[in-house]
Amino acid sequence: MDLKELRRKRRSRFMGSLLPYMGYIIQSGVAMVFILVLIIFSAWYTSLLRDVPEGLPIRWIMLVLLAPAAVHSGFRTYLQQPDTIFLLPQGHRMREYFAPAWVSGNVWKLLRLLVVLITLWPLYIRSESAPRDLLATALVLALVKLLASYGLWRELAMQSRTAASGYQLLRWAVSTLMVAAWLWQTPLKALIFIALLGAAYAASLAVPKRLSVPWERLIATERNQGARALMVLGWFVDVPGREQRVYQRRYLARWGGGLPWRKENAYRFLLTKSFARGDIFGIVLRIALLALLLVWWNRASYIGSGIYVLFIFLLGIQLSALRKLHSESFWLTVYPLPEGSKGRSSVGFISRFHLVLALVTGLPLLFTLSTRLLPALGTLAAGLLVCYLFRNHLQRKEAAPDEDL
């Protein structure tokens, strides 16, 4: 059996399953939105480079943006549940199967890291009194990325999930310290520290007991990654067979518990719990925090107004995916929900949460009311208008459920 060819065929099959949806994505206007985002970001970034604020904490900015890009890793193995039977006899040869996954995963992640670094570099050299060399910084970050990828692969093979969780925290801590050392210390001291810490971390990875091939864990990881790709497509078109990853998030366990125990609230309760434990909540939260930071940073200019309206639009797109969250649930066809309650609950929940996010991310604008009363109020009004337009759009979609997104 040619394991490399098997993975190549599976990858081609998966990519081929996504191609039919590309036309819908283009028709949805995502290309225009992307161009608009790029234009707004370019204008804001150019303005920032022309007038860099005094005392800008550029090292912290570099650390916050580069460390996650260097640490975050992932591999597409395309393993399936039947592989635990049919590929089990090939367990001693599975390195041939996993090698392309390791290479492709690191290549794409390294390219993403390089894009982030090059984007930040003009701001860095204008703000830092003694900037590092670009090529040396890229090499250091690449080494950190490869070490983090190696750590993730070892974590997946660990027998103890408690140990794997601990090593996940250790991977983030070690990688962040390495990036911070390069940014704050002299190059020689930083390289010595990075070498010693990297060697200690690599040695520690050999301590926990590991499985030769963690079949179930790799299959579950692949299922989550495939579901995430389909979830992105679900923003633009109905995609069959989507699965949602479930997170515990115990701090949100009481959310929705205060709803009256009535039949018309059943789907609203389900949607609240699903949102609190799903991927979309994490995505929305990260976007909202980034919007809050950027709006605060540019609250005294029209660039901040544009950023605010743009992020309200992006949050609306993300939240709109909740409308199709349980579109293929068997139990919703069995449970006697009141007619129309699913659509009303979805639109109501999405609209309310969208409005809350618009108000929260617009808080920095309130600090400019004394100096920019009309622009601040106009920006907030524009954000509320975006929320209203999204609500009307969702209501029309619910009124025509057979229409493709």
pTM of the model: 0.70
Chain segment 211-225, per-residue pLDDT in tens: 888 888 888 888 877
pLDDT value at residue 193 = 95
Instruction: Of 235, 229, 230, give the one whose Cα is nearest residue 394.
Output: 235
**Domain spans, the chain:** 3-223, 251-399
pLDDT value at residue 318 = 83
pLDDT value at residue 176 = 95
DSSP secondary structure string for all residues of 333-363:
HHS-PPTTHHHHHHHHHHHHHHHHHHHHHTH
Two tokens, residue 122: 């003009």
pLDDT value at residue 130 = 85
Q: Position of tokens 């990654």?
A: 225
Q: What angle do CA 124, 128, 129 make, to 5 degrees?
A: 150
pLDDT value at residue 175 = 95
Q: Which long-range contacts (CB under 8 A, 24 or more apart) does 377-384 make?
A: 378/305, 379/304, 379/305, 379/308, 379/309, 382/305, 382/308, 382/309, 383/308, 383/309, 383/312, 383/358, 384/355, 384/358
Chain segment 125-134, per-residue pLDDT in tens: 998 888 899 9
pLDDT at 403 over 60: no
Top-confidence range, 62-66, 246-250, 279-283: 62-66
pLDDT at 66 over 50: yes
pLDDT value at residue 358 = 93
Q: Position of tokens 């659509």?
A: 343
Two tokens, residue 330: 């068997």
Distance CA 173, CA 165 (A): 13
- Per-residue pLDDT, averaged over 269-290, amounts to 83
pLDDT value at residue 405 = 38
CB 35 within 8 A of CB 65: no
Give the rounded distance of the alpha carbon of 198 from its chain centre.
27
- pLDDT band at residue 404 under the 50/70/90 scheme: very low
Distance CA 124, CA 132 (A): 9
In this prediction, what percent of the chain has a pLDDT beyond 70?
A: 88
pLDDT value at residue 375 = 87
C-alpha distance from residue 190 to each of 144, 169, 322 (Å): 13, 22, 46
